[in-house]
Amino acid sequence: MQVRIKNFEDLTLNELYDLMALRSAVFVVEQDCVYQDLDYKDQKAIHVLGYENKLLVAYTRLFGPGDYFKNASIGRVIVTPAFRSKQLGHTIMKASILALQERYDMHQIEISAQSYLERFYETHGFKAEGAEYLEDGIPHKKMIKTTNNP
């Protein structure tokens, strides 16, 4: 998988359309969850796009400390259904963690993880904190990863 990491203003129109289409296909249609995906946070985010043969198959968006949560964060973690068996979720998470570590002086990464994916995130060093909660009608858990950065 080819990974591209871009600020919002550096995305091409096609990249922006691809990432919005992927997020809508999975988070709205597949998960049957009506929510406001276009939340005016994309302009502040760093976008991590994973391509296979010019097809966007994996994506995350990143925030620096204080931009979304108190800690640096990773959100909108997604792999298109046809590619989920290829371990691309792990690839995009590793690239996302590395990108945050390279860009920000921080010691923790925070995510709001769908609860059924807790074990997946644990393999990347995240640990659940606190009780499960509903976000857009879907059970989530706050998870934190402590990094080597100061």
> Which CATH number does the domain housing residue 102 bear?
3.40.630.30
Distance CA 118, CA 39 (A): 24
Q: pLDDT value at position 31?
A: 84
Q: pLDDT value at position 21?
A: 96
Query: Does some domain include residue 126?
Result: no
Distance CA 70, CA 90 (A): 24
Query: Does some domain include residue 15?
Result: yes
Query: Does some domain include residue 89?
Result: yes
The parts of the chain modelled with pLDDT lower than 70 are 149-150
Domains contained in the chain, number: 1
Distance CA 42, CA 108 (A): 21
- This prediction has a pTM of 0.94
Query: Does some domain include residue 41?
Result: yes
Query: Does some domain include residue 135?
Result: no
DSSP secondary-structure letter at 1? -
Q: pLDDT value at position 27?
A: 87
Range of the structural domain that residue 34 is part of: 2-107
CA distances (Å), origin 123, targets 10, 83, 90, 116, 127: 31, 19, 9, 14, 10
Query: Does some domain include residue 20?
Result: yes
Q: CA Rg, the chain, in Å?
A: 14
Query: Does some domain include residue 139?
Result: no
Query: Does some domain include residue 116?
Result: no
Q: pLDDT value at position 150?
A: 54
